[in-house]
């Protein structure tokens, strides 16, 4: 240990990279029992050789196919590069961002992750800056690891500054914003074979009712004009029927458009997510259906704009769209945007959203774009509602990762998974989103051996699963088991929170 401390962090990082590079090569080529090509694809899984990553169904299973024509299945970590990793950069890499970026790629490879679905940095976790984006892009161009590049066209709601509203996507200003972002990045990437494609950010449109309301409430705006026009079409110009559903008293749709006020309720989101049943109030179903139609209009417009801008510069790389919560897009919305994407990219394996049905309807594969497997938060943060989606302890994270790794990789509809995880512990003092999501390593670079060992083993298991014959019954059984276990953990946490509420004097040790 004393000898280790005498070596500079940069030299330590370089030594670590040699070890990890050697160990990754051993894991990649021996444990799978199959030879890997230059881009990490299985050389015995043959697809079209196009010079770029693309998707293809081979023998009943969807695959990513590498530029040299080999079947590839992508296992990634959703948040390896974030703006909340400053402490780890300071203590593990002596403040050297380049050493951190290169060391991050080496460590995720050692854990058995073979690509980076979130690219050189995660847009929704850069609220306070810190990450040198230009340097990150440079390192990823040189790293020879498959990755998807972020074009953050809409913000996750946590990115919004106080008082900031969501954009009117129908405005000329937003069109220029999309075109400028694409022009800034895509021409530099269009010939890069290591780039799998482009995505538009995490969590977009999660607060769907707010997107609709903030678009409608702008007077004399293109967005208001468009959405009220959609409502007029849906009610075939019959304002009386509209008034009955909404409890309003407009004389015409022209009046609604010029001076009327209309706000969609928050329950639209909670019903769609399966958190609450549809209200029994007359007109609720119509309001809900109208909201999905208006949201679909907003989303389709963004996807069309982006698709047109990207394809003018780059005809080859895939378009993944936004990494959205599993219930944000209905099956009908996915149908609307199908011409503008190559892969559907919902987050989470969920009972609410039927991924398989959408895959079959669109004949496009799915990426699980941000799959949580539990985070362990101090109970005080849970009670204060500063954290969500917890599991009781770190051993339970391992249990869920095991279930999910097997469930997802045994499903032929998927081409990959992005596990919701950070490489290093985050560094904010009181917000669970920034601190409580624990990494695989502490800020001083020390590993969490049980978690790392298990995840490395399971990532290897994933690669064995995707090569095995598919079994519908086994996949269904795993799905049921996962949801049953997850619900048990949620019940435990609910019980603990209830106990703390009833007995606030009880002191719980922070983890």
Indicate the average pLDDT of the chain: 89
Position 387 confidence tier, pLDDT thresholds 50, 70, 90:
confident
Q: What is the 3-state secondary structure (H, E, C) of 1-63?
A: CHHHHHCCHHHHHHHHHHHHHHHHHHHHHHHCCCCECCCCCEEEEECCCCCCCEEEEECCEEE
| pLDDT score of 78 | 94
pLDDT digits (tens, 9 = 90+) for 260-286: 999 999 999 999 988 899 999 999 999
CA–chain centroid gap for 73, Å, is: 17
Which range in 85-89, 294-298, 478-482 is most confidently predicted, on average pLDDT? Answer: 294-298
Distance CA 35, CA 41 (A): 8
Judged against a pLDDT cut of 80, whether residue 80 lies above it is answered with yes
Judged against a pLDDT cut of 90, whether residue 151 lies above it is answered with yes
Q: Structurally, how many domains does the chain consist of? A: 1
Distance CA 89, CA 109 (A): 18
Residue 277: half-sphere exposure toward Cβ, Cα within 13 Å: 3
Determine, yes or no, domain membership for 159: yes
Please state, for a pLDDT cut of 90, what percent of the chain lies above it.
73
Determine, yes or no, domain membership for 249: no
Judged against a pLDDT cut of 80, whether residue 430 lies above it is answered with no
Determine, yes or no, domain membership for 222: no
Determine, yes or no, domain membership for 173: no
pLDDT digits (tens, 9 = 90+) for 222-265: 999 999 999 999 999 999 999 999 999 999 999 999 999 999 99
Determine, yes or no, domain membership for 330: yes
What number is the average pLDDT over the span 146-169?
93
| pLDDT score of 21 | 36
Position 1 confidence tier, pLDDT thresholds 50, 70, 90:
very low
| pLDDT score of 384 | 75
Structure tokens at 133: 């984006």
The range of the structural domain enclosing residue 375 comes to: 2-166+183-202+314-502
Between 507 and 104, the more confident residue is 104
pLDDT digits (tens, 9 = 90+) for 28-48: 443 456 899 999 999 999 999
Structure tokens at 464: 């064995």
Determine, yes or no, domain membership for 135: yes
Q: Specify the DSSP class assigned to residue 324.
A: B
| pLDDT score of 511 | 44
Determine, yes or no, domain membership for 308: no
| pLDDT score of 351 | 84
Determine, yes or no, domain membership for 286: no
Q: Give me the helix-helix angle, 9-26 and 86-93, nearest 10°.
A: 100
| pLDDT score of 440 | 93
The alpha helices in 320-448, defined as continuous H runs, are 331-337, 355-362, 379-383, 394-409
| pLDDT score of 17 | 38
**Cβ-count burial of 90 within 10 angstroms (0-12 exposed, 13-18 middle, 19+ buried)?**
middle
The CATH number covering residue 149 comes to 3.20.20.80
Position 287 confidence tier, pLDDT thresholds 50, 70, 90:
very high
Q: Quick check: 396 and 449 in contact, CB under 8 A?
A: no
């Amino acid at each position: 240990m004393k000898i280790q401390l005498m070596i500079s962090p940069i030299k330590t990082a370089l030594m670590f990279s040699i070890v990890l590079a050697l160990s990754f090569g051993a894991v990649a080529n021996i444990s799978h029992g199959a030879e890997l090509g230059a881009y990490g694809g299985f050389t015995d899984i043959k697809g079209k050789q196009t010079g770029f990553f693309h998707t293809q169904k081979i023998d009943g299973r969807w695959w990513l196919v590498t530029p040299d024509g080999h079947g590839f299945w992508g296992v990634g970590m959703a948040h390896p590069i974030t703006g909340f990793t400053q402490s780890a950069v300071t203590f593990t890499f002596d403040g050297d961002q380049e050493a951190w970026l290169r060391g991050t790629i080496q460590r995720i490879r050692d854990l058995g992750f073979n690509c980076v679905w979130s690219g050189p940095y995660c847009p929704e976790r850069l609220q306070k800056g810190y990450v040198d984006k230009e340097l990150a892009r440079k390192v990823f161009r040189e790293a020879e690891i498959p990755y998807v590049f972020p074009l953050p066209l809409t913000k996750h709601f946590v990115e919004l500054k106080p008082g900031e509203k969501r954009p009117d996507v129908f405005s000329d200003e937003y069109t220029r914003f999309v075109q400028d972002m694409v022009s800034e990045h895509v021409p530099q990437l269009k010939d890069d074979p290591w780039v799998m494609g482009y995505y538009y950010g995490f969590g977009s449109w999660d607060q769907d009712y707010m997107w609709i309301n903030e678009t409608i409430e702008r007077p004399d705006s293109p967005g208001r004009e468009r959405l009220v026009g959609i409502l007029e079409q849906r009610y075939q110009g019959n304002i009386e029927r509209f008034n009955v559903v909404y409890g309003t008293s407009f004389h015409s749709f022209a009046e609604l458009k010029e001076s009327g006020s209309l706000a969609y309720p928050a329950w639209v989101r909670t019903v769609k997510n399966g958190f609450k049943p549809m209200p029994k109030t007359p007109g609720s179903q119509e309001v809900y259906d109208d909201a999905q139609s208006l949201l679909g209009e907003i989303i389709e417009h963004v996807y069309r704009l982006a698709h047109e801008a990207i394809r003018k510069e780059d005809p080859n790389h895939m378009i993944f769209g936004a990494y959205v919560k599993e219930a944000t897009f209905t099956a009908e919305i996915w149908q609307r945007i199908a011409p503008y994407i190559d892969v559907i990219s919902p987050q989470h394996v969920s009972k609410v959203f039927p991924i398989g049905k959408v895959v079959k309807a669109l004949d496009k594969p799915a990426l699980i774009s941000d799959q949580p497997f539990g985070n362990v938060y101090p109970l005080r943060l849970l009670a204060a509602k500063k954290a969500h989606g917890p599991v009781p302890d770190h051993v339970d994270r391992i249990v869920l990762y095991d279930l999910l790794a097997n469930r997802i990789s045994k499903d032929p509809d998927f081409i990959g998974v992005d596990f919701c995880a950070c490489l290093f512990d985050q560094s904010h003092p009181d917000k669970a989103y920034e601190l409580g999501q624990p990494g695989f390593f502490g800020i001083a670079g020390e590993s969490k051996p049980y978690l790392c060992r298990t995840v490395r083993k399971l990532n290897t298991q994933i690669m064995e699963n995707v090569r095995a014959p598919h079994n519908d019954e086994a996949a269904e059984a795993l799905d049921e088991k996962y949801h049953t276990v997850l619900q048990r953990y949620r019940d435990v946490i609910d019980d603990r929170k209830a106990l703390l509420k009833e007995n606030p004097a009880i002191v719980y040790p922070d983890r």
